[in-house]
A and B are shown apart, each in its own frame.
Chain A
Amino acid sequence: MLLEIDNVTLLYGRIQALHGISLTVNEGEIVALIGANGAGKTTTMRAISGLRPIASGRIRFAGEDITKLRADLRTVRGISQAPEGRGIFPGMSVLENLEMGAYTRRDSAGIRADLDRVYGLFPRLKERAKQVGGTLSGGEQQMLTIGRALMSRPKLLLLDEPSMGLAPMLIQQIFSIITEINQQGTTILLVEQNAQQALSRAHRAYVLETGRIVKSGTGTDLLHDPAVKDAYLGVA
């Protein structure tokens, strides 16, 4: 087991956002976390990356208890996150953004190789290498957050709403690339509102409702689950 979250609760002031969440991610998997707005998907991501302290429960990563570990050290351990929306550095160029992704690394040869790998996955980023991040389109910014997250050569990649605000064509493309990244050997935990895409790409998935996990199973199982269909796939 690469990531194990055990009974995690999280508070925003007096409001409880997570009510005892447990989930696991095995090495090599794509695991999806689906749910409506405000279900606690992004909060779960922030708990894993360490941006938000949890109130109770345990988080284990690669055999180590990281519950109390600082966010920057979790990156060193191999957790990398592509935050939702415009999580790029707007005043840095595309290349500088990608270099920030490799902030914790010192192996310049390896960094260069990974830069080529990211450019291979997203040729668009190579064309725009010198362009300032804030001037990119929504889709390009999305590619940049994913590419930047890969630059730390993570064991676990956290993707927060990679399809948000993208045109259907681009959504297809992003998900194909996510599958490709996974096939290259990176484990992925994916948060999505686009349940259709997420479930058809994921090995396993969890359904989150108001801070609780209400269902779990393989992607295909959930894709054909009547309740899931009804609530998230827009088909009766």
Chain B
Amino acid sequence: MTTVQTILRWRGPDGGVRGWFGRQPRLVRWTLLAAIAAGAYALPYVGEVPVIGPQIVTEGVDWRTALFNISYFVLLALGLNVVVGFAGLLDLGYVGFFAVGAYTVALLASPNSDFKTNWPWLATVPVAIVITMISGVLLGWPTLRLRGDYLAIVTLGFAEIIRIFAENTTLLRGDRGFSGIPHPPGKHADGTPIFGVRDAGPYYWLGVSLIIVIVLAIRNLDRSRVGRSWLAIREDEDAAAIMGVRTFKYKLWAFAIGACVGGLGGVMFAGQNGFMNSASFQIQFSVLILAGVVMGGSGNIAGAILGGALISYIPDRLRGVEIAGQDAFQYRFLMFGIAIILIMIFRPQGLIPSRRRAMELKDRAKEVAPQ
């Protein structure tokens, strides 16, 4: 137990790597972040690094596809982190927005669609963003008056409604799904398209670029008056209202922004796979993303990225690996469960915690069990 404890407490909220990072001058910090971003872009080639490389790459899954999966999981974790981590709204139906984004692309671009519009992929992106934002507002408008557990239940219902609706309407084609969803534009010098099913690398790089843009946008938002309003709502919604925060409006914004990022994940997913049906949007997916956000460190952008990456990487890494004659992939959910329980016991604020979140957790613990 003690070893587990030490591993999970390898740094406190103020000390360790984060404390050191925070004390560096601005230039050093930005250079380090740029280096991390460059490292992310170079990940498809990590398998060629001797000794370490082969340990990192996935054996049972094409490494570049695994990387692409990580990229849209990270995107989803970032979006959900705005809703859950920043505004403190428990959303259990986040997959619903992912589905709305993916279906928007499919309906507008797939030759199977009744619309017969056959739009190129790129043209569907702005439409998908607008539609997922609207869906966020539409879901939020009646439900954001609810709090805590009640909101969680309603969002859970929303995701199921989307999935069941997709299963049972002819327009959304149920499990027959949509195929032939086009790829993003761009051609190599020899005339072959850059984006395709065969090589997921370009999709991954596109994903990383999107992640960078979204991280910068969300970070700025978090440090603005909007972020401060979210923080106040998360810590004490009544107190926030008394301070003059228009709570409903900011909660709605969190929902819309979260929805929009989740929708973008769906847009990427639909494009890369070329095919999607109603089975792609199971409720477990929402739970998985939420687990990633909480595991990584709810309310912290770096934490959300780490958590989102882990929940996608670990199962892919386990695929095709044998432990004691058993396929490790079969036990991925068991391992997840154990990992989450351990983290919640020893590091409830997540792997890279938000400093404020850690304090809020402590404060709430006091409320539950006064000393």
Quick check: is A38 within 8 A (CB to CB) of the other chain? no
A50, A133, A149: most-surrounded residue (chain B CB, <10 A) = A133
CB atoms of A134 and B360 under 8 A apart: yes
Q: Which residues in B have their C-beta under 8 angstroms from that of A133?
A: 359
Classify the secondary structure of B's interface with A. helix
Bound Cα distance A148, B236 (Å)? 14
Quick check: is A226 within 8 A (CB to CB) of the other chain? no
A-B contact pairs, 19 of them (CB 8 A): A49-B241, A50-B241, A51-B238, A51-B242, A70-B246, A72-B247, A75-B242, A75-B244, A76-B244, A86-B363, A86-B367, A89-B232, A89-B239, A91-B357, A91-B360, A92-B231, A103-B244, A133-B359, A148-B243
Given known A-B contacts A71-B242, A72-B245, A100 and B228 have beta carbons under 8 A apart: yes
Q: Contacting B359 at CB < 8 Å: which of A81, A91, A152? A: A91
CB atoms of B232 and A100 under 8 A apart: yes
Q: Contacting B239 at CB < 8 Å: which of A83, A91, A132, A135? A: A83
CB atoms of A134 and B363 under 8 A apart: yes
CB atoms of A101 and B238 under 8 A apart: no
CB atoms of B244 and A91 under 8 A apart: no
Q: Which residues of B contact A (CB under 8 A)?
A: 228-229, 231-232, 235-236, 238-247, 355-360, 362-363, 367
Q: Which residues in A have their C-beta under 8 angstroms from that of B240?
A: 100
CB atoms of B243 and A134 under 8 A apart: no
Quick check: is A179 within 8 A (CB to CB) of the other chain? no
CB atoms of A92 and B245 under 8 A apart: no
Q: Which residues in A have their C-beta under 8 angstroms from that of B358?
A: 91
Quick check: is A90 within 8 A (CB to CB) of the other chain? yes
Smallest CB–CB gap between B368 and chain A, Å? 13
- Closest residue on chain B to residue A148 by CB atoms: B243
Give the size range of A's interface with the partner.
20 to 34
- Closest residue on chain B to residue A132 by CB atoms: B359
CB atoms of B245 and A90 under 8 A apart: no
Given known A-B contacts A134-B359, A134-B363, A87 and B236 have beta carbons under 8 A apart: yes
- Closest residue on chain A to residue B354 by CB atoms: A91
CB atoms of A49 and B359 under 8 A apart: no
Q: Which residues of A contact B (CB under 8 A)?
A: 49-51, 70-72, 75-76, 80-81, 83, 86-92, 100-101, 103-104, 132-135, 148-149, 152
- Closest residue on chain B to residue A46 by CB atoms: B238
Q: Which residues in B have their C-beta under 8 angstroms from that of A148?
A: 243
Q: Which residues in A have their C-beta under 8 angstroms from that of B236?
A: 87-90
Smallest CB–CB gap between A223 and chain B, Å? 30
CB atoms of A72 and B362 under 8 A apart: no
Q: Which residues in B have their C-beta under 8 angstroms from that of A72?
A: 241, 243-247
Smallest CB–CB gap between A136 and chain B, Å? 10
Q: Which residues in B have their C-beta under 8 angstroms from that of A90?
A: 235-236, 359-360, 362-363
Closest 6 pairs between A and B when the two form their complex, measured CB to CB? A91-B356, A90-B363, A104-B244, A75-B244, A134-B363, A71-B241
Q: Which residues in A have their C-beta under 8 angstroms from that of B360?
A: 90-91, 134
Q: Contacting A92 at CB < 8 Å: which of B229, B356, B367? A: B356
Q: Which residues in A have their C-beta under 8 angstroms from that of B367?
A: 86
Q: Contacting B243 at CB < 8 Å: which of A70, A132, A152? A: A152
Q: Which residues in B have their C-beta under 8 angstroms from that of A51?
A: 238, 241-242
B228, B241, B242, B363: most-surrounded residue (chain A CB, <10 A) = B242
Q: Which residues in A have their C-beta under 8 angstroms from that of B235?
A: 89-92
Smallest CB–CB gap between B236 and chain A, Å? 6
Bound Cα distance A92, B233 (Å)? 12
B355, B363, B367: most-surrounded residue (chain A CB, <10 A) = B363
- Closest residue on chain A to residue B249 by CB atoms: A72
Bound Cα distance A19, B149 (Å)? 30
Q: Which residues in A have their C-beta under 8 angstroms from that of B355?
A: 91
Bound Cα distance A92, B359 (Å)? 9
Q: Contacting B242 at CB < 8 Å: which of A80, A132, A134? A: A80
Smallest CB–CB gap between B31 and chain A, Å? 29
CB atoms of A134 and B231 under 8 A apart: no
A51, A72, A148: most-surrounded residue (chain B CB, <10 A) = A72
Q: Which residues in B have their C-beta under 8 angstroms from that of A92?
A: 231-232, 235, 356
